[in-house]
Amino acid sequence: MLTKHANFTFMTKVLVATEKPFAKEAVDGIVKIIEKAGFTPVLLESYSGKQPLLDAVVDVDAIIIRSDIIDKEVIDAAKQLKIVVRAGAGYDNIDLAACTARGIVAMNTPGQNANAVAELVFGMMVFFARVGFNGKSGTELRGKTLGIHAYGNIGKLVAKIAKGFGMKVYAFDPYVSHSVIEADGVVSLATVEELYSMCQYVSLHIPATEKTIKSINYTLLSKMPKGAVLVNTARKEVIHEDDLLKIFSERSDFSYLADVQPSKVAEFEQNYKGRFFFTPKKIGAQTEEANINAGLAAAKQIVGFITNGDTTFQVNK
Ligand code: 3PG
C-alpha cells in the first residue's frame, strides 16, 4: 500500500508554462529533474492567449514560468497549486497577494540569468555606438561614463564587463552599501540624481514595483549629459514614456535602447528614426545558458520545496 507521502509524490504534477519557450536542453534537464523526483512533468510551451494556461493549471501542484502572467484568475483555476517558481529574476508577473491568500509559495531564481542580460546591455550599446553596423563612422565605449542604476546580480556583472571596455563606472543603489560597490572598483553615488547627471550611458536594473513604475521621468532624464543613452533591459513600465518622448522632442542628442518595445513604439518610429533600438520581444534572458541555469534551478527549487519544505528564494514570505 502506498504511504500518504508516496501517494502524494506519485500524483505530483509540475507544469512548465512558457509562452516564450526555453532552449530544448533546458526543457530536457527540467523534465529529468522532475521525473527523478517521482513527479510528472507537463509542458505548455509557445501558447498564445490565456485559455491554454487556465486549462493547463487545473490539476497541477507546481508551475514553472518565465514572464507568463500568474494573476488571480489563473490562481483561482489552479485548485491544487502549492508553488509557482518564476525561472528568472523579476516576479512582477505573479499576483503575490493572491498566492499568499491561498498559501501558495512564490519563488524566483535570482542571478541565474543575470549574465545573459548583462551581455545584452553591451551588445546593444556597441551595436548602437557603431551605428547599427551600417558602415558609417561611430563611437567607442572606452572612456565613456556608465551609470548602473541598481547594483544587484545584473548590475554587478554589467560593472565587470564595463571595466573590460575601459568605461568609467558609477552606480547608485540605496539597498547596497557603498563598500560593497566600491570593492568592485565602481564609484558608489549617494543620490540617483548624481548618477543621471554624471553618466552619458545609464543602464537600468531596477525591478518594476509600485515605487519604481514610471519613476524614470523627465526630472531624472533631463539631467543626463550630451549624447545621453538610456539602456533599459529591466522593464518598460519603469519608464515614464511621455516624459521620455518629451526629452526626445527637446534633445536630438538623446537615445534610448530597450529590451522590449515601449508601449508608444509607433511615436518613436514615426519621429525619431536612428535614435533608438528596441528588441521585438524580451530577449535579455534568452540564451541556452540562462535557460538551463534558471530552468533547472526552478525545477530543483520545486523538488526541494515539495520533498523537504525548503522555502529558500520564497518572495511572498
Ligand atoms: C527576468 O526577470 O528574469 C527577465 O526579465 C527574463 O524574462 P524571461 O524569462 O521572460 O525572458
Predicted local distance difference test score (pLDDT) of residue 219: 98
Mean pLDDT for 244-251 is: 98
Sign of the C-alpha dihedral computed for residues 30, 33, 35 and 37 taken in this order: negative
Predicted local distance difference test score (pLDDT) of residue 27: 98
Mean pLDDT for 95-111 is: 98
Are 116 and 290 spatial neighbours (Cβ–Cβ below 8 Å)? yes
Q: Is ligand 1 within 6 A of the CB of residue 251? A: no
Structure confidence by residue, pLDDT tens digits, 282-295: 999 999 999 999 99
CA–centroid distance, residue 75 to ligand 1 (Å)? 20
Q: Is ligand 1 within 6 A of the CB of residue 284? A: yes
Q: Which atom of ligand 1 is nearest to the CA of 286?
A: 11
Going by pLDDT thresholds of 50, 70 and 90, the confidence category of residue 1 is very low
Structure confidence by residue, pLDDT tens digits, 294-314: 999 999 999 999 999 999 999
| pLDDT over 50 (residue 2) | no
Q: Is ligand 1 within 6 A of the CB of residue 188? A: no
| pLDDT over 60 (residue 4) | no
Structure confidence by residue, pLDDT tens digits, 21-70: 999 999 999 999 999 999 999 999 999 999 999 999 999 999 999 999 99
Are 72 and 95 spatial neighbours (Cβ–Cβ below 8 Å)? yes
Mean pLDDT for 262-268 is: 98
Predicted local distance difference test score (pLDDT) of residue 42: 98
Mean pLDDT for 95-109 is: 98
CA–centroid distance, residue 219 to ligand 1 (Å)? 28
Radius of gyration over alpha carbons of the chain, in Å? 21
If you take atom 5 of ligand 1, which residue's CA is the nearest one?
Answer: 90
If you take atom 2 of ligand 1, which residue's CA is the nearest one?
Answer: 90
Q: Is ligand 1 within 6 A of the CB of residue 152? A: no
For residues 135-171, one letter each, b for 16 or more C-beta atoms within 10 angstroms of the residue's C-beta and e for the rest, the string is eeeeeebeebbbbbbbbbbbbbbbbebbeebebbbbb
Q: Best of 113, 121, 205 to mutate for ligand 1, by most ligand atoms within 8 A of CB?
A: 113
Are 245 and 189 spatial neighbours (Cβ–Cβ below 8 Å)? no
Q: Which atom of ligand 1 is nearest to the CA of 89?
A: 3
Mean pLDDT for 196-209 is: 98
| pLDDT over 50 (residue 6) | no
| pLDDT over 90 (residue 249) | yes
If you take atom 3 of ligand 1, which residue's CA is the nearest one?
Answer: 88
Q: Best of 16, 20, 64, 66 to mutate for ligand 1, by most ligand atoms within 8 A of CB?
A: 66
Structure confidence by residue, pLDDT tens digits, 207-225: 999 999 999 999 999 999 9
What is the C-alpha separation between 18 and 45, in angstroms, rounded? Answer: 5
Q: Is ligand 1 within 6 A of the CB of residue 89? A: yes
Instruction: List the domains of the chain with CATH numbers.
Output: 2-112+287-308 (3.40.50.720), 114-278 (3.40.50.720)
Which among 114, 65, 112 has a CA at the least distance from the CA of 91?
A: 65
Q: Which atom of ligand 1 is nearest to the CA of 66?
A: 9
Q: Best of 45, 282, 289, 296 to mutate for ligand 1, by most ligand atoms within 8 A of CB?
A: 282
Q: Is ligand 1 within 6 A of the CB of residue 113? A: yes
Going by pLDDT thresholds of 50, 70 and 90, the confidence category of residue 9 is very low
Q: Is ligand 1 within 6 A of the CB of residue 114? A: no
What residues form DSSP beta bridges with 94?
A: 70
Structure confidence by residue, pLDDT tens digits, 119-175: 999 999 999 999 999 999 999 999 999 999 999 999 999 999 999 999 999 999 999
Q: Is ligand 1 within 6 A of the CB of residue 282? A: yes
Place of cell 514560468: 65
Mean pLDDT for 182-196 is: 98
> What does the block give as the cell for 240?
515614464
Predicted local distance difference test score (pLDDT) of residue 10: 55
| pLDDT over 60 (residue 8) | no
Going by pLDDT thresholds of 50, 70 and 90, the confidence category of residue 11 is confident
Q: Is ligand 1 within 6 A of the CB of residue 90? A: yes
Q: How far is CA 313 from the centre of its chain?
A: 16
